[in-house]
Structures are given as structure tokens and as C-alpha cells.
């Protein structure tokens, strides 16, 4: 008595290979999306809560203050109709508009400043207020989890 045995193993392997290829081809896009999210998380923390990477509310070291700024800088900001309640690294918008994704490909992404002047200003500010343009653990986790969600979404299509 002969028994025929059939398997769909090759079909399953081809389908899994297609899913892996979709993940591979989507990786550059997913890395760029993740870098954009990371840059935005850092920007929001600085501009919306005025906190550095350590979670510390940034405040001037000057004795005479206006809000979180030195009295002199606070007055300048008020004349420009800018808030003084928290340090937000925003005066004319040039610094934060220079912050973003610098490069992205299948191997990784880079976030930073797109010009030397902004990088120098940021370096000076971090020397005074502490590291601000790095990622907190929470921000890093959110960015990584977003990347993994994109990979899972691609895999489960």
C-alpha cells in the first residue's frame, strides 16, 4: 500500500522569504521614520518642558532672574514676545530648525545639526545647562518601540 505525503513546506518558506525581503526593503524607511521621531521627541522635551536629558528643569545660573532666564536675557525675550517661564533654546528659530535627521540609509540614521553654527551654539548651551540634545531612556525606548512596531507591521502583512 502506497501513501502519498504532501507538504506545503516550500510554499511556507517562500512566503516567509517574501516577508523577510519586505522587512529588508522597508528598513531604510523605518530607520528614517525612527530618526524623525527621535529628533521630534528631543525637540518637544526641550521646547515644551525645558528639561535636559537628566530630566532637570533648565534654569539660568544668574542671581538676578526673570523666569528661568537671567534678568538681561529674560527682558530681551520679553521684548521679542517670547516666554520666560522655561528655557526652550528658542530665540529666532534657527537652532531648532537646524536640528533633525542628517542622514539615513539601510545601515542606520543620524540626528544632529545641519550646520556648524547651530552645533556650536548647542554645544555652548549644553555646557551651561547640561546635555539636552541626547535622548532620555524613555525617548530611546519610544523610538525603538516605534521601529519594532514598523517591523512587526511589515512582517504581519
Looking at the domain assignment, is residue 141 inside a domain?
A: yes
Determine, yes or no, domain membership for 10.
no
In angstroms, the Cα distances linking 108 to 20, 59, 146 are 18, 34, 15
Dihedral angle at the C-alpha atoms of 86, 69, 122, 42, nearest 10 degrees? Answer: -10
Task: Report pLDDT for 1.
Answer: 63
Task: Let me know if residue 99 belongs to a domain.
Answer: yes
Burial 20-36 (b: 16+ CB within 10 A, else e): eeebeebbeebbebbbb
Residue 133 grid coordinates? 540634545
Which grid coordinates belong to 46? 526641550
Look up the pTM and report it. 0.87
- The verdict on residue 14 lying in a domain is no
State the cell numbers at 39: 529628533
Domain that residue 94 falls in: 29-155
Q: Domain total for the chain?
A: 1
From first to last of the 157 residues of the chain, give the pLDDT tens digit. Answer: 667 777 788 888 888 888 888 888 889 999 999 999 999 999 999 999 999 999 999 999 999 999 999 999 999 999 999 999 999 999 988 999 999 999 999 999 999 999 999 999 999 999 999 999 999 999 999 999 999 999 888 878 7
Amino acid at each position: 500500500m502506497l501513501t502519498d505525503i504532501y507538504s506545503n513546506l516550500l510554499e511556507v518558506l517562500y512566503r516567509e522569504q517574501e516577508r523577510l525581503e519586505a522587512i529588508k526593503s522597508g528598513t531604510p524607511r523605518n530607520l528614517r521614520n525612527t530618526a524623525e521621531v527621535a529628533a521630534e521627541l528631543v525637540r518637544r522635551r526641550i521646547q515644551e518642558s525645558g528639561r535636559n536629558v537628566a530630566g532637570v528643569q533648565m534654569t539660568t545660573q544668574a542671581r538676578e532672574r526673570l523666569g528661568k532666564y537671567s534678568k538681561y536675557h529674560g527682558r530681551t525675550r520679553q521684548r521679542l514676545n517670547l516666554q520666560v517661564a522655561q528655557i526652550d533654546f528658542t530665540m529666532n528659530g534657527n537652532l531648532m530648525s537646524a536640528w533633525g535627521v542628517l542622514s539615513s540609509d539601510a545601515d542606520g540614521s543620524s540626528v544632529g545639526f545641519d550646520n556648524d553654527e547651530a552645533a556650536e551654539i548647542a554645544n555652548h548651551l549644553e555646557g551651561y545647562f547640561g546635555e539636552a540634545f541626547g535622548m532620555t531612556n524613555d525617548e530611546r525606548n519610544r523610538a525603538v518601540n516605534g521601529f519594532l512596531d514598523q517591523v512587526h507591521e511589515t512582517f504581519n502583512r
